[in-house]
Amino acid sequence: MSSDMTIASLGKAYRDGTLTPSGVMAEIRTRAAEFADHNIWIHLLSAEEQQPYLAALADKDPQQCPLWGIPFAIKDNIDLAGVPTTAGCEAFAYTPSVSAPVVQQLLDAGAIPVGKTNLDQFATGLNGTRSPWGPCRNAFDPDYISGGSSAGSAVSVALGLATFSLGTDTAGSGRVPAGFNNLMGVKPTRGLLSARGMVPACRSLDCISIMALNSDDANAVLACAEGFDAEDGYSRRNGYDNLSRHYGFRQGPLKVGVLPQQQLQFFGDSEYQAAYAATLAKLAELGFELVEVDYSPFDEAARLLYEGPWVAERYIACQPLIEENPAALHPVVRAIVEPGGEPKATALFRAQYRLEALKKVCVETLEQLDCLLTPTAGRLFSVDEMLAEPILHNSQLGYYTNFMNLLDMTSVAVPAAFTASGLPFGITLVGNAFSDRALLSIANRIQQGLALPVGIECAAAEPAGLPQMKQPVMDNRRIDVLVCGAHLEGLPLNWQLTERGALLKSRTRTKPCYRMYALAGGPPFRPGLVVDESDGAAIEVEIWSVPATEFGSFVAGIPAPLGIGKVMVEDGSVVTGFICEPRGVEGATDITQLGGWRAYLASR
């Protein structure tokens, strides 16, 4: 079996006939036994249990099923029909008759389940050691933690036992294990993936997450897994500009927020600190503009998750066991969750008031950036270190992650470097809700720029599994609009831009192939810009950056004979801007020789 387990590589091998899905699954089962001491699986599917899924491939067209024959792992707090769901607690286990909607959609796309993976019990933890099935151990060095709670989901992909996996992410559980195992980890916008069929940790904050070898695979899986679920009260419809077609290779300048030195925390891990500094230096070389932002409001929001009343939601999730069989809970999980029955409603409302104030600041900060960039975690602890200080070190693991769902943000964990000891270090990109594809496109650019190997293929001379997507994509949150008349800064219709949140981007000129006319009518008086390739001139214009959400209403208010088209600018670019229908200049005054609308107004 090839060491390259990406979707593209396996798909090619299937088409070439060098591999078959049944052969891949048999090899995975054999190799899984070699890693038994990593404590990856709670339930590894047998050949008999996998056979119905393999048989179903015969009726599926690989051209229509983007995950045809692709092996995937499922965190054992997400339902797979006919296989027990334990949430890491045998006393809680039940056997669902139907799969979670997200799992079913992946099965429908041709994916084959490998098994149910180990986790921090009831998804309470970021370390992977809080399980009766034993601590799940890091793919690179079993003396170190895997990260959690989606521990086995990460290690299974890193060790080549699955192409991708499903985890869950309430406080960082899909990002920290991805970072510790050299994987891409996507924490989608809350509600983008249905949460039905998932054992809740904090139901109002939970989301199913995806771990994969690269951004191409992560996007392909997200495209199959996402979708509005009318039976999930927290499900949300995706927007057009966050659909899969908007994923690609991010072009253009990137303004990336980073933390000031005094707000960074590495908890004594000098190798992670060095890896982070080296990563930022490399990104700067690749053209990323790094600007410092204040992390304190994000950090304050993060502390609300465990120090505030939201721990009550974890209490609700396992309340029957706490009240009837508390000994069934892992001791550390019980110590964290049990006090969740105490907070009063007044404490929740006070926390919500503060959270809304913090959210306003944090969302506005991100609106000025293409993304925020942080270390995924500040330190990689050994298993022994974690067992000695389970609550303190777990809190430290959440320093860069716990704020995310409380603030309704999305994020992508990206492999970034290896430490001097050969352990993975990762960064996380953060954006506001429904920026999933924008972040994945930036992650694509980072992965191709850094050219790291993926999974445990660290010794590969030519790293396998790197993203291939080269489709150029730009920032789609704003649209550049070229104006040449009454919408210029300070003129009568400029309010139509400024009141929509538009920002003046530049003052420039068109290519010398336009004529300008003063149109009849008014006030307000308006010019008309028309193409004249043989006898045109350069015309002074302004380019404004308009929020994409406001562009439609702006265009709808433009009266005939004016309209919006493409205008050529003197630097060679083509910008959306004002044009005039040829019939509109009949009887109008030619003012081309003045070089622009302001000059015309001054001449009157």
Asked if the peptide bond before residue 561 counts as cis, ω within 30 degrees of 0, the response is yes
**Distance separating the N- and C-terminal Cα atoms of the chain:** 79
Strands 371-375 and 254-258: parallel
Q: Is residue 253 packed enough to be buried (19+ CB in 10 Å), middle (13-18) or exposed (0-12)? A: exposed
Cα–Cα distance, 255 to 260 (Å, whole number):
15
Q: Is 458 exposed, middle or buried (0-12, 13-18, 19+ CB in 10 A)?
A: middle
Residue 587 CB-half CA count within 13 A: 4
In 90-141, which residue ranges form alpha helices assigned H by DSSP?
101-108
Q: How far apart are CA 565 and CA 549, in angstroms?
A: 18
Give, to the nearest 10 degrees, the angle between helix 47-56 and helix 21-34.
Answer: 150
Angle at 427 between CA 392 and CA 396, to 5 degrees: 5
Cα radius of gyration (the chain): 27
From residue 476, how far is each of 77, 242, 547 by CA, in Å? 35, 9, 9
Question: What distance in Å separates the CA atoms of residue 465 and residue 215, rounded to the nearest whole number?
Answer: 10
Helices 215-225 and 7-16, interaxial angle, to 10°? Answer: 80
* 582 preceded by a cis bond (ω within 30 of 0): no
Q: Are 479 and 257 in contact (CB under 8 A)?
A: no
Active site residues: 75, 149, 173
Q: In whole angstroms, what is the distance from residue 503 CA to residue 415 CA?
A: 35
Tokens of 449: 């720029």
Instruction: Indicate if the alpha-carbon torsion angle 390, 117, 183, 255 is positive or negative.
Output: negative
What's the CA gap between 362 and 314, in Å, rounded? 25
Query: Do 478 and 501 touch, CB atoms closer than 8 A?
Result: no
297 DSSP assignment: H
Q: How far apart are alpha carbons 252 and 254 in whole angstroms? A: 6
Joined together, the tokens standing for residue 448 give: 């191709």
Cβ atoms within 10 Å, residue 8: 16
Q: Give the residue carrying structure tokens 């291939």.
A: 468
Whether a cis peptide bond, with omega within 30° of 0, leads into 149 is: yes
Taken in order 478, 482, 484, 489, the sign of the CA dihedral is positive
How many Å apart are CA 6 and CA 160, to the nearest integer?
9
User: Considering only CA atoms, which of 181, 187, 235 is closest in space to residue 208?
Assistant: 187
- CA-CA distance, 509 to 512, in Å (whole number)? 8
- CA separation for the pair 470, 460 (Å, rounded): 23
ω into residue 523 within 30 of 0, thus cis? yes
Give the integer Cα–Cα distance in Å for 590 and 518: 7
